[in-house]
Amino acid sequence: MDLFRSLIRIFSHQIRPKGNASGILEANSPADGWIGESELINLAHVNALQAVKVTNNYIAENHGELGMFATLFFGVLDPAIGLLTYINGGHEDLFIVNPNGGVKQRLKSTGPAVGMLPDLKFKVQQTRLEPGETLLGYTDGVPEARAAGGEFFTTKGLLSMLEQPVPSVTTLLEQISEAVLEHTGAADQFDDITLLAVRRIPH
């Protein structure tokens, strides 16, 4: 993971696709088209997201014999307007949660796990994080957290917790963490449990 993270950080600042802006945006257009009003913002987001493709090829070509790959979500967020442009490389769905509870949108996979084979295709998608909404991401160690009797925490269990209003991202993460630990009890932990939440603060 350290290698993937380092490559994404480096390439997101260095890689720029060749061609004019219109051609680059047309080649990377989301299925529903661009929702960002500014061509410059859309282009800047796409430029950064090229890091996923370059990282994939670097890993596959230089470490292919090790079977090294990772799922990841890489998003570029403009906090002023809430525009989120992203690639979900085989990762768990991320959720956009309404301020009063309930999932507004699931950000599903837009491509395979990164690093498995050269020249894999990763689709770009866009959405908008409205004021008060929260973006929640997590590793599969959360729904697959297992109790002593073998029962999983499940994605359904996580979704049930998101039906309540979100007072703050800190409280939300604490509540989910406590619920997962209560579920597993004294059972051994089989996978990492990682959570990330970002909330767009209303002005």
Buried b (16+ CB within 10 A) or exposed e, 166-186: beebeebeeebeebbeebbee
Query: Could you tell me the domains of the chain?
Result: 2-199 (3.60.40.10)
Q: Is the pLDDT of residue 107 over 90?
A: yes
Residue 140 sits at φ, ψ, to 5 deg, of: -70, -10
Pairing relationship of beta strands 195-199 and 103-107 according to DSSP bridges:
unpaired
pLDDT tens digits, residue range 148-184? Answer: 888 999 999 999 999 999 889 999 999 999 999 999 8
What CA–CA distance (Å, rounded) separates 79 from 49? 17
Residue 74 sits at φ, ψ, to 5 deg, of: -125, 115
pLDDT score for 123: 97
Q: Is the pLDDT of residue 125 over 70?
A: yes
What's the pTM value of the predicted model, to 2 decimals?
Answer: 0.92
pLDDT score for 189: 67
pLDDT score for 72: 96
pLDDT score for 102: 97
Mean pLDDT of 73-83: 95
96: left (phi over 0), alpha (psi -120 to 50) or beta: beta
CA-closest candidate to residue 132, choices 156, 104, 154: 104
pLDDT tens digits, residue range 2-50? Answer: 999 999 999 998 877 778 889 999 999 998 899 999 999 999 999 999 9
What CA–CA distance (Å, rounded) separates 87 from 200? 20
